[in-house]
Structure 1
Amino acid sequence: MEETSNVNCTLYCYPFSLYSIMVRYLIHLAKTYSEPHDATSPELRIREQILDLDHDENIAEWYLLNVNRKGQVPAMTIEGAASPITDSLDISFWLCNLFPQLLPSQHEATIRRLLHDLHAIEGISITIRRREGPEEDLIDPCVDNVLARDDIGPEYRQALEAKKVFDDSHVPKASHHANVDRAEQQTATLLAEVARLYEQHGQNTWLLGADVGPTLLDAQIVPFISRIEDAGRARLVPEVLLQYAAARRASPEWNIVMGGKGTVGRKEYGPVRDMYDMSAEVPPTMLYIARRETVTGLGV
């Protein structure tokens, strides 16, 4: 890549997807706290494209076949790259490669270990209410409805069938009380360790201290704690982290991402299509890549 060339990306996301929130929050932390760039630094342009999951845009043919076969968000396409990035943590590490201060080398092993534990927690299980058994009503019939049509091509049908297999085998299990209990225990254990880390570094603004500043760990833990609170499980969060997350939610970066709303969609928020202009191209969020000897990771 030429040093002065721009890097153009599209981030496909949904406003109330926990993992979309994590990536979007990281982007805005990078925008605010990244190292100053100079005139020769390449420009990173990220356009956020909201997918309306309430109207099944995540299983649209163009998205399943060209962006993410799993029909999940977030996903990111990078101009000139061989394929999209379809895992939220992979997107985050890609961004941190461009903004290394968000993954400081002296703390990288700890951050990676804690995020491994965080992403081992089933997001559905920690969000929904506890049920005594798996319930099929959690499965959205949208895939079946499309499969019932006779005007879809074989490749699209194959992608939909793969999506259905995943949903049918995964979603009901996530609602089972044993998996909810497991997710709650994992959450309590993880956040107890994060609280100790925060206390070790002085409980000053960021998890690893004011001298380090925001990191990928902050970008993931703040949305995670917020989702736990919104799901009625604040009891799992140490008090010191409840205060930490509340302070971060008062920041301009969080307000840009969530606009004063919680992390779980609610009827009073109205339809996503009313919250966003779905017909207009969202202006790109402008980020700048810090000048480095080499920039790696762009050829994903």
Structure 2
Amino acid sequence: MASKDLSTPFTLYSSTYSICAIMVQMTYELRGSPPEGRPDMKIDRKIIDISHKGREQLSEFYLLNVNPEGVVPVLVNDKVLGKPMPESVDISLYIADWYPSLLPSRHKQVIEELLDELHQISYKLLTFGTQTTFPTTSVAWLREQSQRPDISDAYRKALKYKESKISVWADNHSEEDLAEAENRTRAFCAKIVALMEKRPDEKDKLTYIFGPEPTVLDAHVLPFLGRVYEKERLYLLPPTLVEWHKQFRETDLWKRAVPAGTTLPPFA
């Protein structure tokens, strides 16, 4: 990182109800202090309305200038990054590069492996189940918009690309897929509990997966547990994680990262 660029504020395109956006915001909230000589990372959060009424992530500006995938989160800083940075894991690891305590070397390998495993789980299936019409409705809207005569060719192409991406999800949400997502959730949670059992005993203290200091893994696991908890899929969560998550829901940290109080979108 070039020191002359580091004071430039970043823009985080986010959404109140995007679990991946919440994971990035949680990472930032858990960041701690930067190394000596490096300024604090300044992030301005720009909320994008991803509801049926808003669909700001599908606007011409967003698809052509921020993220052609039409999703959040995206981190932007022309002077430091050059081009927009999508993907919650990439953004979180970038923040962790700025704040090394989020990714301690002794835990780096297991954190990266578990982040990858966590993001292989279908949050969409755990959230919407198999009977949702949300993807199909979005495909219909994209198809209608792309046929408008008053839009640019570039925007039309972007809309059709996004339609092709959503169509895959709309055509693929079986009970078998849901069962796989649930099995992956159970297996992942078991690994988190196993790590927590190795922590030093800290009675009456709020501790994290590896101990008293938070990591980027905590930042992604806590919102994920929130989503599963709020969907009342408690049969997927070990009691240890339920209680741990419930403790964090009462903290100012949770309230800053999840200002709506819930990770669930109103249409879930």
Q: TM-score, normalised by structure 2?
A: 0.90
2:210 paired residue among 204, 208, 211: 208
CA 1:50–1:190: 2 relative to 1, 3 Å: same
Matched, 1:14 2:10: no
Q: Percent identity?
A: 28
SS in 2 for 1:47: strand
Distance 2:6 2:186 in 1: 45
Indicate which of 173, 178, 181 corresponds to 1:180: 178
Residues 4 and 151 of structure 1, relative CA distance in 2, 3 Å threshold: closer
User: 1:74-109, CA deviations, whole angstroms, 9 ceiling, x for partnerless residues?
Assistant: 111113122111111100011000001000000000
Q: Any conservation in 2 of the 1:8–1:45 contact (CA below 8 Å)?
A: yes
> Which letter does structure 2 place at the counterpart of 1:14?
S
State the distance in 2 between where 1:259 and 1:20 align: 12
C-alpha offsets along residues 234-288 of structure 1, whole Å, 9 cap, x if unaligned? 1111100111111122221111122362110237xxxxxxxxxxxxxxxxxxxxx
What's the Cα RMSD here? 1.9
- C-alpha separation in 1, matches of 2:156 and 2:33: 44
Q: Aligned ranges for residues 21-100 of structure 1 at < 5 Å?
A: 21-30=22-31, 33-35=32-34, 40-54=37-51, 55-80=54-79, 81-100=81-100
Aligned equivalents of 2:260, 2:5: Cα separation in 1: 37
Report the alpha carbon displacement of residue 130 of structure 1 after superposing the two structures with TM. 4.3
Cα–Cα, structure 1 residues 115 and 230, in superposed 2: closer, same or farther, change >3 Å?
A: same
Deviation at residue 72 of structure 1 after TM alignment: 0.4
Deviation at 1:43, TM superposition (A): 4.0
Whole-angstrom distance in 1 between the partners of 2:25 and 2:16: 9
Equivalences for residues 133-144 of structure 1 within 5 A: 138-139=135-136, 140=138, 141-144=140-143
Give the number of equivalent residue pairs.
257
Q: Gapped runs of 5+ residues in structure 2?
A: none
Partner residue, 1:246: 246
Distance in 1, matches of 2:253 and 2:66, equals: 27
* Structure 1 position 123, deviation (Å): 1.3
Considering Cα pairs closer than 8 Å and 6+ residues apart, tell me whether 1 or 2 has the greater RCO. Answer: 1
8 Å contact 2:78–2:84 — kept in the other structure? no
Paired position in structure 2 for 1:255: 255
Using the alignment, how far apart are the partners of 1:69 and 1:88 within structure 2?
15
Q: State the one-letter code of the partner of 2:211.
A: G
TM superposition outliers: structure 1 runs of 4+ over 4 Å: none
CA apart distance, 1:28: 1.0
Counterpart Cα distance in 1 of 2:28 and 2:164: 33
Paired residue type of 1:191 = C
With over 3 angstroms needed to count, the CA separation of the structure-2 counterparts of 1:84 and 1:260, relative to structure 1, is closer
Alpha carbons 1:125, 1:183 under 8 Å: kept: yes
Q: How does 1:152-191 map to 2 (within 5 A)?
A: 152-173=151-172, 175-191=173-189
Once the two structures are superposed, residues 197-242 of structure 1 have per-residue CA deviations (whole angstroms, 9 ceiling, x without a partner) of 11111464111011xx000011000000010011221111110011
Q: Are 1:198 and 2:196 counterparts?
A: yes
**Aligned equivalent of 1:219:** 219
Cα separation, 1, equivalents of 2:201 and 2:151: 55
User: Which one-letter code corresponds to 1:127 in the other structure?
Assistant: T
**8 A contact 2:135–2:166 mirrored in 1:** no
1:245 partner letter: H
d(CA) in 2 for partners of 1:183, 1:23:
22
The change in CA–CA distance for 1:144 and 1:220 in structure 2 (over 3 A counts) is: same
| C-alpha distance 70-258 of structure 1, shift in aligned 2 (>3 A) | same
Q: Is the 8 A contact 1:96 1:103 kept in 2?
A: yes
Distance 1:246 1:93 in 2: 26
Deviates more, 1:246-255 or 1:215-224: 246-255
TM-score by length of 1: 0.81
2:85 is paired with a residue of what secondary structure? coil
Report the residue type matching 1:159 in the other structure: A
Deviations 1:113-153 (A, max 9, x none): 1111101111101112344xxx6663223312311211111
